[in-house]
Amino acid sequence: MKDQMILRVGMKMMIPFILVYGLYVIFHGDLSPGGGFQGGVVIAAAFILYAMIYGRDEMHKVLPRGLSDALVAIGVLIFAGTGTYGLLAGYRFLDYTPLKPSEPGGAEAWGMSLVEYGVGFTVSMVMVTAYNEITEPAPDERKTS
């Protein structure tokens, strides 16, 4: 794949736009169709495309395995942490009111966005991990790519 000039140059120009589109879908989940799940998969598609064109070692330089494993867990922690913060502040679990006590409507928007970011992290990193693990070459077929 490294020798295909059209693929390399074309994808090098497209991958930033795919990443920005994925972030747009996550951030605008409240206002238009989208949300954490869809945006997470689009971001994962950008990373998978990079790994397919330039090789897995290049992608491990950009997104090391430790970082993707940690982000999988951090996404779930953001979600559960927002809920627990509501519990510790004296309201119900997953009540978003203590994020902005003066204005309950605004607190709802804050809480929903925060939780969507957590979901986006987890979904995108799980898809990238799944791709990494499934396409790992077996020890006897390790090739130089």
Partner 1 sequence: MDIAGHYNFWVAIAIMMIGLYPVIAKPNLVKKVIGLGIFQTGLFLFYISMGKIDGGTAPVHFPPAARHPQNYTNPIPTALILTGIVVAVATMAVALALVVNIKRAYGTIEMDEVEEIDHRDDQR
Partner 2 sequence: MPDFLLINLILLLMVTLTGIAAVRARNLLGATMLMSIYSFLMALVWTNMDSIDVAFTEAAVGAGVSTVLLIGALVHVGSEEKPTKSIHWPAMIATVATAAALLYGTVDMPRFGDAHSPANANPVSVGYIQQDVDKVPDASGHHAQRPRPHGDYFHGHVPNFVTAVIVSYRAYDTMYETTVIFLAGMSMILFLRRRKDAP
Q: Which residues bind partner 1 (CB under 8 A)?
A: 32-33, 35, 37, 41, 123, 126, 130, 133-134, 138
- Write out the two tokens for 30: 């409240």
- Residue 2 Cβ, how far from partner 2 at the closest point, in Å? 18
Q: How many CB atoms lie within 10 A of CB 54?
A: 20
CA distance 14 to 17: 5
- Residue 95 Cβ, how far from partner 2 at the closest point, in Å? 9
Q: How many CB atoms lie within 10 A of CB 145?
A: 10
Q: Which does 84 bind (CB under 5 to 8 A by kind): partner 1, partner 2, none?
A: none
- Write out the two tokens for 79: 């979600």
Amino acid occupying residue 103: E
CA distance 127 to 42: 10
Closer residue to partner 1 in complex, CB, 11/124: 124
- Write out the two tokens for 53: 């064109």
Q: Which residues bind partner 2 (CB under 8 A)?
A: 29-35, 37-38, 41-42, 44-45, 48, 69, 72-73, 75-76, 79-80, 83, 93-94, 96-97, 104-105, 108-109, 111-112, 115-116, 118-119, 122-123, 125-127, 129-131, 133-136, 138-139
